[in-house]
Structure 1
Amino acid sequence: MSKYREDQAHRAYDDSPDRFRAHHPDDAFDGASGVLFEQAMAQTRMAICLCDPHQPDAPIVFANRAFRALSGYEEAEIVGRNCRFMQGPGTDRAAVRRIRAALEQEEVIVVELLNYRKDGSTFWNALHLGPIYDAEGRLLYFFGSQWDVSDVRVARAEERHARELARELSHRMKNMFAVIGGIVNFTGRTRGIEAEAREINERIQALGRAYETTLDEASSGFIEVGQAIRSVLAPYDPQGTRIHFEGNGLRSDFSAVSVLGLSLHELAANAVKHGALSRQTGQVTVRWARNGAPGAPTIVINWIEQGGPPVDLQHLLLESRDPGIVDRMLAMARGNIMREWRKDGLWATLRLPLREDVA
């Protein structure tokens, strides 16, 4: 006897209801527990049936209320028939063959297949089949439970479609950014402004990195802030040792990608040219969190540079009188940036509104 059979034999259904005992009159049977078993089987919301493998074509000998509700058939239309009566033209033949093989080998199988109700409507059935043995290891019945997973299948299909759409969108956006970059480079060369064109292209590339990693979430209307931050800043720390990230699983409105991406790109580019990342010992810490009152939440991002060259306060104070691109972008998004120049680097705090329903 197989190990599975031995295990099943120890928990055999000796308390099977009276309607099944006629098939196995020698089985030990406790009438009281049999009644409880039958009531439990009948009242459970899981659709359940039992088939008798000792009769020709292994007919159904019991189908509970949930099975009848799921299939649309009455008990008299179910009992005595093989369960294949719920199959139809759309039922996968390969799945049916797997079921047949499992029954022949007395194995447990779980398979999803398309079934048909009495009214002709279809549903996806997560079918669980397995043998039931008596205390001696003899096969008594095949147990079948059915679960309507049509909604689950639809959700899977929608998720799969969303992933495919995201991949296609990613491909198209890469092409779009590449075309824009090519136009900018061409214009820069023909007009003798290569340096300006290169600076614009760096911003375009930063936008592309921010969007590419958040496209999977686009259909839901929000992004994971940390994912966008890491993607934008990755090129400025190829070894992953100089920019440190500290944040939670904060999510934000998808429209925040552009502002976040370009703002952090500008800060990183400045750090590479003049700040902490211009020195081998320099470090940058980026922290992000949710802040603000319940009715007016905000994204708060702290940019902390350490180990950079001494700060030329006079130059920075003069430069700060003319707000740069970061200030203008944040202002248009109803956000702001506060800067504090410390001895070895810039400390900046960026704030952006956060939609309450995706906080």
Structure 2
Amino acid sequence: MDEKDTSNIHGDRPAAVTADVIPDWKELAATAFQRTRMPMVVTDATREDYPIVLANEAFLRLTGYDANEVLGRNCRFLQGESTSAAAVAEIRTGLQEDREVSVEVLNYRKDGSAFWNQLHLSPIHDDNGRLVYHFGSQIDRTEYRRIQALEASEHRLLLEVDHRANNVLALVDSIVRLTRSDDAALYAAFVQKRVQALARAHSLLSRRGWHEIPLRETILTQIEPYGARRAVLDGPEILLVPHAVQPLALFIHEMAVNAASHGSLSREIGQVTISWKDIPQTNGFALVWEETGGPPPPTFRRPGFGTVIAEATIRQQLHGSADREWSEGGVKVVVEVPNVTSAR
């Protein structure tokens, strides 16, 4: 691997160290990195495709690879056929935007066995602010998820269900029925991401005391993991009644995942414009999702599965309309939803 001077990365000594070990702290830090039980890697952010330049023993044990099979490669070799495209898009967006990323992703060991990886990525800059490395830590969440699934099954009948939960349960039912995959792990990942979108909306409602929620805030909550910095939001203040927040959040989530995985947000120059206007006569609103700067539109322009779910949510859950059209710049979706706004 190429050698480089790392002495100036965030100073010459750590934030906390006793005076008697200052001469040896770099050696101690390297030993700690190598011997810690948490899997860790460091990738070179200055070289093409971010190759791994350091991998500790815990990482090699977790993945089953030897050091010579890991060094110099991009971490994507851990991905497989059931790895969530949404999780990969979330990682890619974080790297592009030079920020920390924490995401749970399905990865694969050398022997082909799958494991759930709680991945945390952090950018490392030198004293001049130049990005030089990415630090990645992994936590094997497979056993935790298995236990969590068992506990959820055992306690399902103990969950409190009130009138606010009815709308959520209807949405989850739609997700389970509409999500399709022949692979059980991929199916689980798809369902999980959509339920997480509902959970984010639920948290927003909870913070607001289940009162009216601004449309702008509902949108931002869902696009944040997939490239909010490259989304332009334009529209007046509109307050949504609580029962409309989660279905609309699911629609935005599906559109954002599609954009990050296959559309405009999958390219650095891509952008999404989300605009809306009030329709007082129907107590509703019209919203336009328009993508530009993405890959060329497909020759056979059949809507993707996520788009199908998004539009089905608008029609079935919110009793609105959704129309889609393609241009050279990307897809444009126009929706109208009645009876969901509150008087300001």
Normalising to structure 2: TM-score of the pair?
0.44
Normalising to structure 1: TM-score of the pair?
0.43
Higher RCO, Cα 8 Å, sep 6+: 2
Q: Which of the pair has more CA radius of gyration? A: 1
